[in-house]
Structure 1
Amino acid sequence: MSVSSRMPGRAILPETVDRLRSAAVLLVFLVASTAIVMAGTALAQEHYFGWYAEAAKAPWTVSPWVSGSVWTILHIGMSVAAWLVWRERATARVSSALSLYGTQLLLNALWRPALFSFYPALGEMALYLGAAIMMLLGITVAAALAEFRKVSRAAGLLVVPYLSWILYILSLNIALIALN
């Protein structure tokens, strides 16, 4: 950038506006993902340390701090993946991929309360509801992976660990059904 383009009263360069817009969109993806995780956690936290703490769990269950850390890292990865797809909107059809991203956020938001918060009222049915939502989430994330990969190989690769984690969480949910 030349000195004259940084002088007061000069127009902002189009590429600067594009970079700012791109950074803002990334921030929106990150905030949306964080808000979903925080809302679901807030709705479920009382029960997570209540009935769930006493429930029989699969031997491969990780500690809560590991689980929370992994969810956080994976949501950051999904946000970056969605952003990479969004950046290609001028050269590729991205509406389907981004719709799947939004759908997986919604399903993710529903899972924690359905499994943890509904258990005191619904009992075993909440475990089945949680498993059903997690299955739908897995299907949605697998579809998002396929759509993201069509647009950006890097975006598709960022979804792989998230899909793996979803399948792991589904196995924990199924174990809850079998053991309780």
Structure 2
Amino acid sequence: MPRPSIKHERREDILKAYERCIALYGLEGATQKRIAEEAGIARPLLRHHVGNNEELLREVVKRYTDRCRTSMQELAAYPFSGEDELLALLFLDNSDMTSPTDTMIATNLIVIAQTHDYTKELMTSWFDDVQLSFEKVLSALYQNAKKDMISIIASGLIGIYFNHDALFPIKKNDKDFQQRSYQAAKQLLLSLQTQGEV
């Protein structure tokens, strides 16, 4: 009886290794040598299991954007009891929302998207999903707010969240930083509260 193929498992190991290398060394520093070492395999097996550099990059972009899309769909579907629960998730306990590795991958993919059309297309679609997810959450919390205001406040909230997320690896023990991010976002949301009262 033939042995079951381990190609899928190897492929996953390689792609995870590539993601870790991107987070540690950036896209240019994520060489095949480093990826192979991180995955614990011989370098020629990279091409056998995944492909060339372009195929590796495309797979990682797709993995990252698929992972984020799922996270955003979960956020949009979550029945938040109020703004404090949403803000606590985003700024006080964001361990479930993202990871330092994902933050570094996103940063590198945004840079490469300027010159790489496939990455630009998927990253643009990813960001559109983020915007729509935040708008859905805010629309559920502030049902009397106007749609254009929801969109504007969602964009501001995303900006604060991304800044907080990008700095989190070096500021994770800085409770003042987390609290300031939380309060800045809360101030934005106040405009939606008052709009509903008019």
Higher relative CO (CA 8 A, sep ≥ 6), structure 1 or 2?
A: 1
Does the alignment reach a TM-score above 0.5? no
What TM-score does the superposition give when structure 2 sets the normalisation length? 0.29
